[in-house]
Amino acid sequence: MKKRTADNVHKAYVEEAMDHGIWERSTTYQICTVCGYVADGGAPDSCPVCGADRPRFQGVD
Ligand SMILES: [Zn+2]
């Protein structure tokens, strides 16, 4: 897991992912930077929750 400086928004996403219990697996996840939706194993063409485009997703280790 990469550490990002002064990125409280990103931190919130990470905490949410941990709450959902998905952080223990080794797959890379794609997080929607608009709504915080976490896609398992790869970014979708668009976010199923808020409809954000793929470039809006941010990969996390
Ligand atoms: Zn979204």
The rounded distance, in Å, linking the Cα atoms of 6 and 43 is 24
**Residue 20 Cα, ligand 1 centroid: separation in angstroms?**
16
Higher-confidence position of 60 and 38: 38
**For the chain, what are the domain ranges?**
8-60
**Residue 6 Cα, ligand 1 centroid: separation in angstroms?**
22
| Confidence at residue 28, expressed as pLDDT on a 0 to 100 scale | 81
**Residue 36 Cα, ligand 1 centroid: separation in angstroms?**
6
Phi then psi for 19, rounded to 5 degrees? -60, -35
Task: Report whether 56 contacts 33 (CB < 8 A).
Answer: yes
pLDDT tens digits along 1-55: 666 666 677 777 777 777 766 555 556 889 999 999 999 888 899 999 999 999 9
- Residues having C-beta closer than 5 Å to ion ligand 1: 32, 34-35, 37, 47, 49-50, 52
CATH architecture of 8-60: Single Sheet (2.20)
- Give the predicted TM-score (pTM) of the model: 0.54
| Confidence at residue 34, expressed as pLDDT on a 0 to 100 scale | 97
Cα separations (Å) of 28 from 6, 8, 12, 22, 23?
22, 20, 17, 10, 9
